[in-house]
Structure 1
């Protein structure tokens, strides 16, 4: 397949006003047909009811950051192009692992290739330089996903605007009140400043072996707090507080006049090909209690549909480890792992052997991220020797998986790259992190299947509000939500089989109908605390 297979190839660039939380308002379009040279420039008043270029399968639509351009198409009521090539997505695919993750605008991509230019002229130069390196059928599949992204960004996530407005109005007071309330059980804050020495003393008093970045220096990253909160529930309130203070800026959370959170989903920004929306602008980005602001509008319902144990299932299917595949198919792979390892009896359940299941769960998840014995011991609060035995049990229970994982690492360093099922590629240098290399097939193939599901659902008319790592938030009238869920689950199942032939992954569903709100159980305590503080605030007393 090549450019000659298309009757016309259009290079398209929009300029638009992008108010926080709103769909774009196109103000200018520049488009050029590559071979014939026809140039079209339209200002806001001249952007009519139909596009000045064909959108059928005989034409190729080329853009840089296609979701932004396609968002303008949607705002104008124009049809989506049937064939989309996003040079930003392809630039990221060609450089993932070789360049730091993030955004690279057209000028940066051109400069790296020793080119200059801007607008559609720069786009033409970039296309010519990249064309010999493109895997067009798979590039068009990624382009298809950018259309799904544009549709999802247009839908947005409905939020409780009244509660958000109160949060914004009283945020300064609330921060101080939250610190006082949460810190009353820890005693580690001085004004708004976190004291690492006091935190170390608290952790020592409670027998929590906190990870360190160097001798005597605690690892105080948000990721470490999140991991430790999973292992030690007593850490959760402090973890939520620190994430809230670091990431939540209510005034910056973009919500449109229709009460929906919208922000760029930034597809392909991560080196695994996953989306990487801003943690301060995306409602799912800050502390998990903030998700309590998500609320279906009157007459509507939301459903959160996520793959169950996605990464465990992908590891089992790719490695073809029969014991691991059986563990996934059991419905509870972590308890199955404990049974297969002989650590619990065959009739054990989540209730009867909760603690053992949790240990094997953390071991299984830790293996997927390349966690060593010392880190696993810290997460579980057990001696290093016990963590070493858990990891050894994993190797003995799933030897085929380990042979596959070892082979992945060897191949990556020898070939200098790894590829996911539909072509997303990681460049692997001699200094690449081995843990990231081993984890790449799980993350990248998880991203591939979610992209396929998004394409099928958005093209089929399902209102997808947002993708969230391995899950989708969808919306429908309350009376239709069960049917929408059934369609979503089937699309996600089929997508998983496209990536993992013969090994479909399960999904789990949580439905929320108006006037209920979405709530992540991990954030319930902090949400209740925040609501209590709001209801006692000046605005509440004056109401």
Structure 2
């Protein structure tokens, strides 16, 4: 359900008396990169609650006390750089993403390297170590073998992606061991179900275990979690769904009306996903 187009997620709906909770690790890859590299400035930035605006403050691009609302444009640029560097994005790609000049994106990248120099030293060590041994391992021994087909960008991002996967697997083990109903793991999140009157307590228990998993994987560093609770009759929602859901429902309604005019009975579009 989470792999296809985003609008299909609106089919997710709890039954009467039940509730769902989508609990995801917040800015997980940035937190993992900070912890694995040991970059104190990056760890402090993550702990601030908004690593993007905090990067701007640390780099002198925004004053102390700046917020998402007061410096929206700068935060957007810093977010693109923080996330892009984890995937090996270069200045040209970042410039195209943000609609800025190449010189501006190059300046942003230089600022990132200066602000988080310990992180970049770690990136170089990890790359050299992997190329020397022809493999790279996670904390639990999950190994990526390096071949002539391995892309440098894949090698750069692997520690964050693989340790994120280790974290989620461990969290799922903990959640099932304490009796929580895990409906699905979703990249950096879990979807759980419980009785509606119990959902808040189940969420609290889940967040405790997810934090525990992050501390084990990252040797004490904790990744935060956010939660969205869905109660019947509401459906799972996502700001990226856009108009596609309404368009599909409209088409189904047209089919319903056409079928009724021909004397055929079909499922009411408003009931899609109820069963």
Greater RCO, CA 8 A, separation 6+? 2
Aligned partner (choices 334, 338, 342) of residue 56 of structure 2: 338
Structure-1-length-normalised TM-score = 0.47
Indicate yes or no: 2:16 matched with 1:295. no
Match of 1:477 in 2: 195
Aligned runs of 1:258-297 on 2, under 5 Å?
283-297=1-15
Q: Deviations along 1:24-46, whole A, 9 cap, x unmatched?
A: xxxxxxxxxxxxxxxxxxxxxxx
Indicate yes or no: 2:28 matched with 1:314. no
Distance 1:430 1:533 in 2: 49
Distance 1:540 1:336 in 2: 54
The higher radius of gyration belongs to 1
Inter-CA distance 384–302: structure 2 relative to 1 (3 Å threshold): same
Match of 1:538 in 2: 255
- The total of aligned residue pairs comes to 260
Q: Deviations along 1:178-206, whole A, 9 cap, x unmatched?
A: xxxxxxxxxxxxxxxxxxxxxxxxxxxxx
Q: Deviations along 1:227-251, whole A, 9 cap, x unmatched?
A: xxxxxxxxxxxxxxxxxxxxxxxxx
Report the Cα offset of residue 505 of structure 1.
0.5
Report the Cα offset of residue 528 of structure 1.
2.8
Inter-CA distance 480–417: structure 2 relative to 1 (3 Å threshold): same
- Given that 1:413 and 1:430 are in contact with CA atoms closer than 8 Å, whether structure 2 keeps it comes out as no
Greater shift, 295-304 or 347-356, is seen at 347-356
Aligned partner (choices 161, 167, 170) of residue 449 of structure 1: 167
Distance 2:200 2:137 in 1: 36
Match of 1:249 in 2: none
- Given that 1:324 and 1:398 are in contact with CA atoms closer than 8 Å, whether structure 2 keeps it comes out as yes
Indicate yes or no: 2:116 matched with 1:398. yes
Distance 2:41 2:249 in 1: 47
Match of 1:205 in 2: none
Report the Cα offset of residue 342 of structure 1.
1.0
Q: Deviations along 1:290-349, whole A, 9 cap, x unmatched?
A: 111110111110000000000000000011111100000000001111111111111211
Match of 1:517 in 2: 235
Match of 2:271 in 1: none
Q: Deviations along 1:370-396, whole A, 9 cap, x unmatched?
A: 001111111111111111111111101
Aligned runs of 1:388-467 on 2, under 5 Å?
388-467=106-185
SS of corresponding position for 1:378: helix
Cα root mean square deviation, aligned: 1.2
Distance 2:29 2:93 in 1: 20
Report the Cα offset of residue 538 of structure 1.
2.6
Structure-2-length-normalised TM-score = 0.92
Greater share of helix: 2
- Given that 1:413 and 1:429 are in contact with CA atoms closer than 8 Å, whether structure 2 keeps it comes out as no
* Structure 1: tracts of 5 or more residues without a match: 1-282
* Structure 2: tracts of 5 or more residues without a match: 261-267, 269-275
SS of corresponding position for 1:524: coil
Report the Cα offset of residue 430 of structure 1.
4.3
SS of corresponding position for 1:421: coil
- Given that 1:300 and 1:476 are in contact with CA atoms closer than 8 Å, whether structure 2 keeps it comes out as yes
Match of 2:263 in 1: none
Distance 1:531 1:466 in 2: 26
Match of 2:273 in 1: none
